[in-house]
Amino acid sequence: GENVEQHPSTLSVQEGDSAVIKCTYSDSASNYFPWYKQELGKRPQLIIDIRSNVGEKKDQRIAVTLNKTAKHFSLHITETQPEDSAVYFCAAPNAGGTSYGKLTFGQGTILTVHP
Amino acid sequence: GAGVSQSPSNKVTEKGKDVELRCDPISGHTALYWYRQSLGQGLEFLIYFQGNSAPDKSGLPSDRFSAERTGGSVSTLTIQRTQQEDSAVYLCASSVLDEQYFGPGTRLTVT
């Protein structure tokens, strides 16, 4: 099965700075890499995802990069704002197994943006 | 449209009791997933339903846990003889392709 490692576990930045969260995965067959944001007491929500046929994807202040050779992908948030404070989870599918769509999640990164 | 819904939102039960947690997925979503999130932890996969295929139960932590999905829609997660370590938020998600949409979760507290 897939193994996903996420770093750092906590990240504190000043408003306006950039934040980067990194994840590594073990299954070279994995082809879909989503990032979820979970605000305190709320459900996880997809913020961006990337497929293995591209190396980078951007959506306003957030971007995700993928290095399939090294089996790692990263979330980049620029011009951070206090409302970006949340727990961020990366994930990768168990594509090599029999259950397409089942996700293995990283342990999460608590991002705090100080005004 | 309506998102994924779960009930109850909170459940407090005594150790040894059985509990049932319900998930209503987004209409038309063929895949349904159950995850468990302990305090300050990540999401732990429990079980996955895809259409009419046999469910993937590989994440269920013990035989006290079971789930069913009736008519390809509503799902119920049952925990028998609850233990204190079962205390967590149980999240349901549904999808039609890759993107999984999560419900608000059921916070289970076993006393």
Q: Tell me if chain B has a CB within 8 Å of the CB of A102.
A: yes
Quick one: pLDDT at residue A96?
Answer: 54
Helix-strand-coil percent breakdown of chain A, rounded to 5? Answer: 5, 55, 45
Give the Cβ contact number of residue B106 at 10 Å: 22
Q: Tell me if chain B has a CB within 8 Å of the CB of A43.
A: yes
Quick one: pLDDT at residue A95?
Answer: 55
Residue pLDDT tens, chain A, 115 long? 789 999 999 999 999 999 999 999 998 888 899 999 999 989 999 999 998 888 999 999 999 999 999 999 999 999 999 999 999 999 998 755 444 578 899 999 999 999 9
Quick one: pLDDT at residue A18?
Answer: 98
Quick one: pLDDT at residue B102?
Answer: 96
Q: What is the pLDDT of residues B80-106, one digit of tens each?
A: 999 999 999 999 999 988 889 999 999
Quick one: pLDDT at residue B52?
Answer: 84
Instruction: Decide if B48 and A102 are in contact by the 8 Å CB cutoff.
Output: yes
| Sequence-distant (≥ 6) Cβ neighbours of residue B54 within 8 angstroms | none
Quick one: pLDDT at residue A98?
Answer: 47
Instruction: Decide if B31 and A101 are in contact by the 8 Å CB cutoff.
Output: yes
Instruction: Decide if A105 and B42 are in contact by the 8 Å CB cutoff.
Output: yes
Tell me B26's DSSP state: P
Give dist(CA B61, CA A58) in Å, integer.
38
Q: Looking at beta carbons, which residues of chain B come within 8 Å of A64?
A: none
**First-last CA distance in chain A:** 41
| Sequence-distant (≥ 6) Cβ neighbours of residue B40 within 8 angstroms | none
